[in-house]
Structures are given as C-alpha cells and as structure tokens.
Amino acid sequence: MTRMLIIGPPGSGKGTQAERISERLGVVAISTGDIFRANVKGETPLGIEAKKYMDAGDFVPDSVTNNMVRDRLGQSDVENGFLLDGYPRTTAQVDYLDQILAEGEQELDVVLQLTADDEELVTRLLGRAKETGRSDDNEAVIRHRLDLYHEQTEAVVAKYAERGILTQVDGIGGIDEVTDRVLTAIESAKAV
C-alpha cells in the first residue's frame, strides 16, 4: 500500500507523472485541479466559486478544498493507497491532511517533489495554453501562480523534508525519462 503526494510548480508534469505512478503502483490518483475543472465545466456552485480564483491564478480557498479532499479520501477506492496531486498547497492544508489521515490511523509514505526552472515552466505552460485553450494559462497568470507556489507551497515542502519523507526529482526531460527517475526515487524512498 502506498499513500503519497506529488508536489511541484505549475507545469512541472505532476498530472502526467501522477497518472503513470497510479498505473504502475496500482493506486488511485486524485487531482484537485481535475476535480475543480470538472466542476467549472459542469457549472456547479463549487465550480462557479472555484473559477473566480482559478482565472485569477489564485488558489481555491482551503475551506472548499479541504472538504472536497476529505470526501474524496473517504471513498472506498483509496483503501489500497492513493496519490494526491495538487494538495496540500499550504501548511494549514498539511495539518488538515494529517488530521484526516490520523482519523483513519494512516500516514503518508512518501512526498515526491518535481523540480523545474521557472522560465522552462513558463514556456511549457504557454505551449499547453495554446494546445488546450485553458483560460487560466496566460503569462501574467502563470507567473503569478509560480510566485504563489514559491511563497506558499515551499513551506509545505520544508515541512515534509523535516519529517524525512520528501524525495526530489528533476521534472525536466522526456516524459519517459522523468517517469523512470520518479519510479526509482519512489522505490528508494519506500526502502528506507
């Protein structure tokens, strides 16, 4: 059983790698971004609220995100493990996730951080925006999201590093090359 997080700046390949890790390890990948986008597309009340923040490049408030994650982690398909992508983003969310896991007498096995240069990420995200037409990917919003990542999420990374469960992997390179690095890093972390 593997319970893990994948963390990294926007555009670092978290979603792609999460799918591959999920497939290889047989755990459910849970992406808060995908859940938000589905709600936006379906114009649900959550989606309408989330869209305001997403279009500005801001994080959706903890109150909305925490409840969504709690509900998702309570579903039966996560009993054999999970891979969270996009959560937690703040130290307050780390504390909330700790609480959820403690209630089920669980803890995280590994936190995987994909690293990448900001300028490489801006180029990558602008390319993705052209391909997919995502309204939340223009240069000003991308740079704002990267600033938020550095400001808020790096404290999350530091917290997991202190616990000794953080593994960093270079997220730049071909998809298969990054996947190989990721899987090797996960196996090494689990062996400790």
Is 14 assigned a catalytic role? yes
Which one from 3, 51, 72, 145 is the annotated catalytic residue?
145
Q: Residue 96, annotated ligand binder? A: no
In Å, how far are 27, 89, 137 from 22, measured between CA atoms? 5, 20, 26
Measuring CA to CA, which residue among 94, 97, 73, 85 is closest to residue 157? Answer: 94
Q: How many alpha carbons lie under 13 Å from residue 163 in its C-beta half-sphere?
A: 17
Tell whether 160 is in a known binding site.
no
The answer on whether 174 is annotated among ligand-binding residues is no
Is 181 among the catalytic positions?
no
89 catalytic residue (yes or no): yes
Contact by Cβ (8 Å): 13, 114: yes
Q: Active-site residue 163, yes or no?
A: no
Selecting among 70, 128, 143, 181, the annotated active-site residue is 128
SS3 for 30? strand
In the set 20, 51, 89, 124, the catalytic residue is 89
Q: Clarify whether 128 is annotated catalytic.
A: yes
**Known binding-site positions:** 11-16, 32, 37, 58-60, 86-89, 93, 128, 134, 145, 173
**Known binding-site positions for AMP:** 32, 37, 58-60, 86-89, 93, 134, 145
